[in-house]
A and B are shown apart, each in its own frame.
Chain A
Amino acid sequence: MDKEIKREIIMEHYSHPINRKRKEDGSYLKVNTNNSSCIDNLDIYIKIKNNIIEDIVFDGEACAISISSTSIMITNLIGKTVEEAFNFINNFEAMVNEEEYDALNLNEALVFEDIYKQSNRKNCALLPYKGIKKAIEDYLKTK
């Protein structure tokens, strides 16, 4: 992907992130996710019904990379089954951690394919995934 296009996508999701709002609704599971080495701190709310992710919203303070990564993640996960979501998450994490991954399925999340070059920002891109994984695992425990 062209560097300038990547930048535009990141900035668009940062300036106008999808579903950034508080959610006080009992049908949503809430998790907090933060990076201990910086000040990124997000609350993620997820609604799963019949094994399908119906909705995800988020709230909090974080840097441009974390916010855009969260927004892109949400765009990709809504509508997926829990298993499909795990595949997407694992695939994304593999890319950021410089392991083998499948570029075809990552859609806009591919904008972070070079993020490993800035090792101090890898955790920013991974932050929402850390949170959503925990949320889904919590959901599976309640089943």
Chain B
Amino acid sequence: MNREDFPMFNQDIIYFDNGATTFKPQIVIDKIKDYYENYSANAHRGDYDISYKVDLEYENTREKVVNFLNAKEKEEIIFTSGTTESLNMIASGFFAPIMEAGDEVIITTSEHASNVLPWFRLANEIGIKIKYIPLDDNYHVTIDNLKKVITPNTKVISIAYVTNVIGDIRPIKEITKLAHENNIFVVVDGAQSVPHLKTDVQDLDVDFLAFSAHKMLGPTGVGVLYGKRNLLEELKPINLGGGMNESFDNEQAIYLKELPHRLEAGTPNIAGVIGLGAAIDYLNNISMEKIHERELHLRNYLIEKLIKIPHIDILNLEADSGIVSFNVEGIFSQDVAYYLNKYNICVRAGNHCAKILKNATGVTNSIRISLYFYNTENEIDSLVELLQAKEKIEEEMI
């Protein structure tokens, strides 16, 4: 689907690592090039025409993000360098000042490092406690299991909407409902969900959401921090500097700008933000519903074939996303990845930055296929054929 829009497909390559990053359509590349070639000025100046155009395009992307997420207003959208920065800003800028020793954050063992380590820091520096929602037999989160770990000290639940190894979709709407009834904030890591599922922050009622542009056809180095406006007003800027202050005379007299600029110190990644705008247009043209439907179709197609191969152990049979994790019995996942690479098939082997997931699954590493709408049945056929004969893998893996 739409493969002709992606210059990377001019190469003889099968790309199944979309959870790591996605390819970029020509229209996104052109948009970035257009900025550097035709109006390469700084933002927030407006004294001359090309700078004015920068502001228009930059703020135009913010409007696009507002619509894409069904947020209320542009003050809720902060551009960051990516999910990691967004989550660190939330933990250190919002929660660190309001949490005390003994307060609790609830996460899961299947979170990505960027939704674990910022909380570990608060545990080490402030003495907050980390609680884990027990995962069920499919490594999914259930409301019943969440209820078991909520205590009067719980201040925040911070979890991925879709996890990057198991690919399960968490019941965020139910989670926020339960959380808010108990005065608990909800932070959502949307890195693996926003590129694949329709996201409606008002319907989900999340307090904060973080995601990255490069996993949704956009450029690297750009991401978004969404927060409800009243909460973002309280988020302490980690970076101080240009573009975020109104005026200053001395250390007692510093006046900061209003949202969203207060949280975007320094010259932003202008080209990246503008490129994200083009990526959002592109995704909207296809429609997020169709993208999700296509990925589910491809996933089912892949699972149906993999399940018939006796030496393949699938880690996440139950998941409604394009992520399939598995191992070839008796062969180290990295060796399988090297073998597939000989046939120009790109897959990821390892623990996928979810280093505490092994506590739940007992599997320390795996091969991960992460699909996007542009993958094809033919590509899946090629992969499955190469995995059919274990002897062939053993023969060619070194």
A residues sitting closer than 8 Å to B (CB atoms) are 7, 10-11, 14, 38-40, 61-65, 68, 118, 120-121
Identify which of A14, A61, A64 contacts B365 (C-beta below 8 A). Answer: A61
> Once the chains bind, are B364 and A61 in contact (CB under 8 Å)?
yes
Q: Chain B residues near A10: list those with CB within 8 A.
A: 398
> Once the chains bind, are B332 and A64 in contact (CB under 8 Å)?
yes
Once A61-B364, A120-B341 are accepted as A-B contacts, the answer to whether A40 and B334 lie under 8 Å apart by CB is yes
Q: Is B256 an interface residue (CB 8 A)?
A: no
Encoded as 1 (CB less than 8 Å from any A CB) or 0, chain B from 326 to 366 comes to 00000011110010010000000111000000000000110
Q: Is B288 an interface residue (CB 8 A)?
A: no
Q: Chain A residues near B351: list those with CB within 8 A.
A: 39
**Alpha-carbon gap, A112 to B226, bound state (A):** 51
> Once the chains bind, are A11 and B338 in contact (CB under 8 Å)?
no
> Once the chains bind, are A11 and B332 in contact (CB under 8 Å)?
no
**Alpha-carbon gap, A38 to B352, bound state (A):** 10
**Alpha-carbon gap, A39 to B394, bound state (A):** 19
Identify which of A11, A39, A40, A62 contacts B398 (C-beta below 8 A). Answer: A11
Distance in Å: Cβ of B332 to nearest Cβ of chain A: 5
What are 7 contact pairs spanning A and B, CB under 8 A? A7-B398, A38-B334, A38-B350, A39-B364, A64-B335, A120-B338, A120-B341
**Alpha-carbon gap, A62 to B398, bound state (A):** 13
> Once the chains bind, are B341 and A39 in contact (CB under 8 Å)?
no
> Once the chains bind, are B397 and A64 in contact (CB under 8 Å)?
yes
Q: Chain A residues near B334: list those with CB within 8 A.
A: 38-40, 62-63
Distance in Å: Cβ of A35 to nearest Cβ of chain B: 9
Q: Which residue of A lies closest to B351 (CB)?
A: A39
**Alpha-carbon gap, A10 to B335, bound state (A):** 13
> Once the chains bind, are B341 and A61 in contact (CB under 8 Å)?
no
Interface hub of B332, B333, B365, B394 (most chain A Cβ within 10 A): B332
Q: Which residue of B lies closest to A61 (CB)?
A: B364
**Alpha-carbon gap, A7 to B349, bound state (A):** 23
> Once the chains bind, are B341 and A63 in contact (CB under 8 Å)?
no
Interface hub of B332, B349, B350, B398 (most chain A Cβ within 10 A): B398
> Once the chains bind, are B365 and A39 in contact (CB under 8 Å)?
yes
**Alpha-carbon gap, A120 to B332, bound state (A):** 16
**Alpha-carbon gap, A65 to B364, bound state (A):** 19
Q: Chain B residues near A38: list those with CB within 8 A.
A: 334, 349-350
Interface hub of A11, A40, A63, A68 (most chain B Cβ within 10 A): A63
**Alpha-carbon gap, A65 to B339, bound state (A):** 12
Q: Which residue of A lies closest to B338 (CB)?
A: A121
> Once the chains bind, are B335 and A63 in contact (CB under 8 Å)?
yes
Distance in Å: Cβ of B121 to nearest Cβ of chain A: 21
> Once the chains bind, are A61 and B332 in contact (CB under 8 Å)?
yes
Q: Which residue of B lies closest to A63 (CB)?
A: B334
Q: Chain A residues near B398: list those with CB within 8 A.
A: 7, 10-11, 14, 64-65, 68
**Alpha-carbon gap, A38 to B398, bound state (A):** 16
Q: Chain A residues near B341: list those with CB within 8 A.
A: 120
Q: Chain B residues near A63: list those with CB within 8 A.
A: 332, 334-335, 338
**Alpha-carbon gap, A11 to B394, bound state (A):** 9
**Alpha-carbon gap, A10 to B397, bound state (A):** 11
Distance in Å: Cβ of A38 to nearest Cβ of chain B: 6
**Alpha-carbon gap, A64 to B394, bound state (A):** 10
Q: Chain B residues near A7: list those with CB within 8 A.
A: 398
